[in-house]
Amino acid sequence: MSEAIAQNFGFSELLPREAAQRPDLIAVDVRQPEELSGPLGHIPGATHIPLDRLLSAGAPADWERDAPLLLVCRSGARSTHAAMQLAQWGFTRLHNLTGGMIAWNGARLPVARQR
C-alpha cells in the first residue's frame, strides 16, 4: 500500500541499503527530538524537523524544491505523511525510507545515537 501512495503523490520508496548507496540524498528525520538519541538513533548528518512542526510551519525557506530528500522516521509512517505534504508543496525529488529507522538498524547501517 505504501508504494501505491508514493506513486500517487510522486515520491519513491527506498530500502535502507538503496538509500545508503545514494550520497546525493539529504536525510530529513521527522521524529520527535527525544527519538534521535533513543535506542534507534538517527542517520548521521540528518536534518531534524519534527513532523508536527513541518506540517504547521511548512518546509524551511532554504530548502530547494528539487533537492533530493530522504524522509525518515521510526517505521516509515510519519515520513510517508511528510513526503505527501512536501509533494503537495511542490517538492519533486522525494524519497521515503521504507521501514524507517527500524529497517535502517536491521540492515546494520551507520547510526548516531547522540545529538
Whether 112 is covered by a domain: the verdict is: no
Kindly report, residue by residue over 3-24, the tens digit of the pLDDT. Answer: 777 777 789 999 999 999 999 9
Distance CA 42, CA 90 (A): 26
User: Which residue range forms the structural domain that includes residue 62?
Assistant: 2-106
Query: Total domain count for the chain?
Result: 1
Whether 65 is covered by a domain: the verdict is: yes
Q: What are phi and psi of 90, to 5 degrees?
A: 100, 10
- Is the pTM higher than 0.85? The answer reads yes
Whether 60 is covered by a domain: the verdict is: yes
CATH number at residue 79: 3.40.250.10
If one compares 109 and 57, the residue with the highest pLDDT of the two is: 109
